[in-house]
Structure 1
Amino acid sequence: MADARTPGWSRRAVLAGVGAAPLMGFAPGREAVKGDGSLKDHAGRAGMQYGAAVRASLLAEQPDYRAAVTRECNIVTPELELKWAWLEPQRGQLSFTSADAIASFAAATGKAMHGAALLWHLSIAPWAAEALADQPDWMIVRRFLASVIPRYGEVTHTWDVINEPMDMGHRMDGLRPSPYLAAFGPDYIRRALEDARLYAPRAKLFINEFGLDYDFPVERDKRYLLLKLLEGLKTSGAPIDGLGMQAHLELAKQAHFDPKVLAQFFDDVGSLGLEIRISELDVKEANGTLATAERDARVADAVRRYLDVAMANRAVGSITTWGLSDRCSWLDSPGGKAGPNRGLPLDAALRPKPMYHAISEAYALRGG
């Protein structure tokens, strides 16, 4: 355990003691743009990034998984390890062991680490939620941000400061009821961004959101109100640099995918001068009883159609999938005898699937 005074994570310190995390042939800070055709290579040739959500336990325990992430990614996102409930389950007792392990891996293999996610209603430490309900004190939030953000400043250049702030059906502005909204009102978003900028003056700061991909009434409303939120933040001078589009695609909803609608939203966000990250791309299958080849073709088609729209907009700067392999997807099996959900680039044996090639083809649209 470590308290908030724990010295910050340092790339130099990690590399000095990296015996447990060999360099694997990568030079920190140097990005290859030619090579064996990995997703990282295709992204580099397009002047972009490819990343995946990772878990510290898998990097430590599964050498083939670690090698696949090393080969394919130039940015990694901790799936759980940077979230408040994980870092500080007891007040004042912060444990950075798992997050530091991912930062060490990133430094040793020449990658960046994306910071996800600082304030999220589902990952607030229970003690913090109780404290904010009893006495709204911004210093509780500020101490957390001050403890985490500077620690990873050398390896983390992008942060999801606010995760999933929108939920339709509660308020006219579309904001989600949460401990933060209850304690501080809508201004909690601006305050968090301003504190994040204070502790990470050169990083890019994002709001990350899901449910923006299809032409349903609820998603149309969400896009409209999220755009209003972003416009208001920009007008007020809040330090917001971009939007994370989670892109959790669902095959059961594909009939409601409208490229023109999505393209317009990308245009609207880009017109505010904001960068767009495809931040958590994966595909939830609808039918696990089909032949594997058909399942993979349907997944790849959904990804291809989405990324055709995304890559046509220069505001889109990176693609991250929420996991790299079906072996460790958060998505449940769609049922049937054909195994787990197949909505990530590599199968459970870490072999490329048609979705993998759909992503590499998308980078080719930008010259990758």
Structure 2
Amino acid sequence: MKPSRRELLRAGALFAALPLGGRPATAAADITLGAVAKRSGIHFGTSIAADTLLNPAQAALYRREARLFTVDWALMFAYLRPQADQFRPNGAEAILAFAATTGVPVHGHALAWNESRPDWLMKLSKAEKRKALDRHIDETVGHFAGRLPSWNVVNEPFWPGHGRPGDFRDGPWLQAFGPGYVERAFKRAQAADPKARLVLNEAMTEAWTEDGARIRKALLRLIDTLQDAGVRLDAVGLQGHLQPGRPFDDAGFADFLHEIAERKVEIWITELDVDDSSFADDIPERDAAVAARYRDFLGAVLAVPAVTTVITWQLADSASWYDHAARELDPDAARLPRPLPFDEQFRPKPAFDAMVAAFGAATKE
């Protein structure tokens, strides 16, 4: 039965009573996010990049905590194909080799994303762009067939700010095919590896803003369109880059998840982290606020039975895209982002405790 808004808020109050500052008395060294999540029927994973493996301590953290790896950027079109005659799978191959030592499956990200567009691609004609997408999916999925059990086939299909009909994100694939590029990408991916699970991945659905509302509406419409066309859609991924500086409504977001679940697909949270830029400078206070955001969001999300998978976007603060952006903006920045469950020394933070508590409290029917 679908929990009511009141029940979700009551669950949030229960989580609010859990400690967030420091290590809980019951914590043990062998408690991991992957293990606790698995006991509740949830797959927990993290994104990983080839350079993650260069630091042995960081590699050990990822090996210990995760039961699923998402390739961070090494399978993006622009990285794989910086020139029309190049194909560079080495970064993804390094991740697969690392994962093979632990038996952790690797999730491919992402085949068709309108923002990953090298200059040479944008100079092509419409017909040439069509051939480029077909070739990319056929060759890439074919190259990894049997080794990558799942793919984000289309990433972030919507962005209202581009002003395109249906709120679709503009870019080479929309320009080449129109909105039909989504269906085409799924069908070609399935043909290239019939056993791979196929995921539609989207951003900003958790934001309680006008853009978020338009993306939620457009995403439901796209799911219906794909299913009506007979496209196999195994899961819908919702990124979960939580931005507490923007309005949010966790109970309302859970209602949206139930709408997706009615379409008989799994739901994955695929890129979870917390933007702490609106929080206090004081680190203990900021860490507690980040942990509370994880706690409240996961408390609402994991009450939805269709949510089967939770993936953070990296595990340690120093590997976060927020950290990289801050250092690029100011190499001497005194305040660096702390958006993830482990700090730059790979020590667990209050966000780790909040995630352990949320996974431990979740039950899947």
Query: What's the TM-score, normalizing by structure 2?
Result: 0.86
Please tell me the residue identity of whatever aligns with 2:235. G
* Counterpart position of 2:344: 348
Task: Give 1:110 shift.
Answer: 1.0
Equivalent pairs: percent with the same residue? 33
Please tell me the residue identity of whatever aligns with 1:73. A
* Residues in 2 aligned to 1:42 and 1:81: alpha-carbon distance in whole angstroms: 29
Q: Where do 1:278-289 residues align within 5 Å?
A: 278-287=269-278, 289=280
**Pairing partner for 2:145 from 141, 144, 153:** 153
Contact 1:136 1:184 in 2 (8 A): no
Deviations 1:295-322 (A, max 9, x none): 0111111111111111011111111111
**Pairing partner for 1:93 from 80, 86, 98:** 86
* Residues in 2 aligned to 1:320 and 1:134: alpha-carbon distance in whole angstroms: 35
Specify every segment of 5 or more residues in structure 1 that has no aligned partner in the other structure, as ranges: 1-34
2:164 is the alignment partner of 1:168: no
Q: Where do 1:320-331 residues align within 5 Å?
A: 320-331=311-322
**Pairing partner for 1:213 from 203, 206, 209:** 206
Deviations 1:223-281 (A, max 9, x none): 1111111111111111222211101011212xx22123101110011100111110000
2:114 is the alignment partner of 1:118: no
**Pairing partner for 2:361 from 337, 341, 365:** 365
* Counterpart position of 2:3: none
2:301 is the alignment partner of 1:310: yes
* Residues in 2 aligned to 1:171 and 1:97: alpha-carbon distance in whole angstroms: 36
Contact 2:277 2:337 in 1 (8 A): no
Select the structure with the greater relative contact order (CA < 8 A; seq sep ≥ 6): 2
Please tell me the residue identity of whatever aligns with 1:260. A
Contact 1:242 1:277 in 2 (8 A): yes
- Partner of 2:153, secondary structure, is strand
CA distance 1:210–1:44, change in 2 (3 Å): same
- Partner of 2:52, secondary structure, is helix
Contact 2:294 2:355 in 1 (8 A): yes
Contact 1:241 1:275 in 2 (8 A): yes
Contact 1:246 1:278 in 2 (8 A): yes
- Partner of 2:272, secondary structure, is strand
* Residues in 2 aligned to 1:365 and 1:157: alpha-carbon distance in whole angstroms: 28
* Counterpart position of 1:104: 97
For these two proteins, the number of residue pairs brought into alignment is: 331
Task: Give 1:338 shift.
Answer: 6.0
2:286 is the alignment partner of 1:295: yes
* Counterpart position of 1:29: none
* Residues in 1 aligned to 2:176 and 2:278: alpha-carbon distance in whole angstroms: 43
* Counterpart position of 1:31: none
* Counterpart position of 2:42: 48
Query: What's the TM-score, normalizing by structure 1?
Result: 0.85
CA distance 1:154–1:36, change in 2 (3 Å): farther
* Counterpart position of 2:70: 77
- Partner of 2:212, secondary structure, is helix
2:28 is the alignment partner of 1:37: no
Q: Which moved more, 1:164-173 or 1:276-285?
A: 164-173
* Counterpart position of 1:26: none
* Residues in 2 aligned to 1:52 and 1:223: alpha-carbon distance in whole angstroms: 24
* Residues in 2 aligned to 1:338 and 1:81: alpha-carbon distance in whole angstroms: 30
* Counterpart position of 1:19: none
- Partner of 1:115, secondary structure, is strand
* Residues in 2 aligned to 1:243 and 1:142: alpha-carbon distance in whole angstroms: 22
Specify every segment of 5 or more residues in structure 2 that has no aligned partner in the other structure, as ranges: 1-28
Q: Where do 1:130-141 residues align within 5 Å?
A: 130-131=123-124, 133-136=125-128, 138-141=130-133
* Residues in 2 aligned to 1:173 and 1:134: alpha-carbon distance in whole angstroms: 20
Please tell me the residue identity of whatever aligns with 2:207. Y
Task: Give 1:125 shift.
Answer: 3.4
**Pairing partner for 1:247 from 232, 240, 248:** 240
* Residues in 2 aligned to 1:116 and 1:37: alpha-carbon distance in whole angstroms: 28
Q: Once superposed, what is the RMSD of the aligned Cα atoms?
A: 2.1
